[in-house]
Amino acid sequence: MEDDVTSPVTDTETPPGSTSAYRIARRRFGQWRRKVVDPDDLRGRQRRLKERVDQQAKQVAETKVAVAKLRSTLTTLARRVRAVELASEHREREHGNLTIQVGRCQELLGEFEERLRNERFIAEPGEEAEARRLVDEIRREHERIRVRMQAVAQYEDRLRRIEAAVADLT
């Protein structure tokens, strides 16, 4: 049997009265009719294109939802990062101020050390009281410096943690 739809059905192909002969004839007639009515299979193409357009419309809708979620997440992260940036700037300023204070304390300690190196302490009644006052002043200043150094260390630790958090967000 040929694939040409115009070839007639012969009796030799199937016995007369067989349902398969009827089906073959009907199939060939349908193929012939489709070629005559729609030779370029435009309806089939249209159906396939409509299916593709529907599928792409569904994908576009899903993408819109995903983009909206991402925008929401981005807005939330932007607010959080801005708060962290402001806190970081504030801590940097505080750290700068504390650095200046520590530097000034070190200068004062240097002056005290210089005085102690250059002077001899011979215990005279008036000088002994002055020496005790200087030693007490040095101890107080030393305690203040230690407290300030602890504060600087705490701020440096905070800055390190904030920088790590900012690095993790970006």
Residue 22 CA to residue 170 CA, distance in Å, equals 73
Claim to verify: residue 11 and residue 85 sit in the same structural domain: no
Claim to verify: residue 59 and residue 31 sit in the same structural domain: no
- How many helices (H) does the chain have, and how many strands (E)? 3, 0
Q: Domain residues for 1?
A: 1-39
Claim to verify: residue 26 and residue 57 sit in the same structural domain: no
Q: How many domains does the chain have?
A: 2
Which sign does the torsion angle of CA 56, 62, 66, 69 carry?
positive
Claim to verify: residue 45 and residue 13 sit in the same structural domain: no
Claim to verify: residue 143 and residue 68 sit in the same structural domain: yes
What's residue 71's pLDDT? 95
Report, as an integer, the average pLDDT of 101-109: 84
Claim to verify: residue 93 and residue 29 sit in the same structural domain: no
Claim to verify: residue 25 and residue 60 sit in the same structural domain: no
Any idea which of 62-66, 120-124, 158-162 has the lowest mean pLDDT? Answer: 120-124
The predicted-structure confidence for 135-162, as pLDDT tens digits, reads as follows 888 888 888 888 888 888 888 888 888 8
pTM of the model: 0.37
Residue 4 main-chain phi, psi, to 5 deg? -70, 130
Residue 62 CA to residue 56 CA, distance in Å, equals 10
Claim to verify: residue 90 and residue 60 sit in the same structural domain: yes
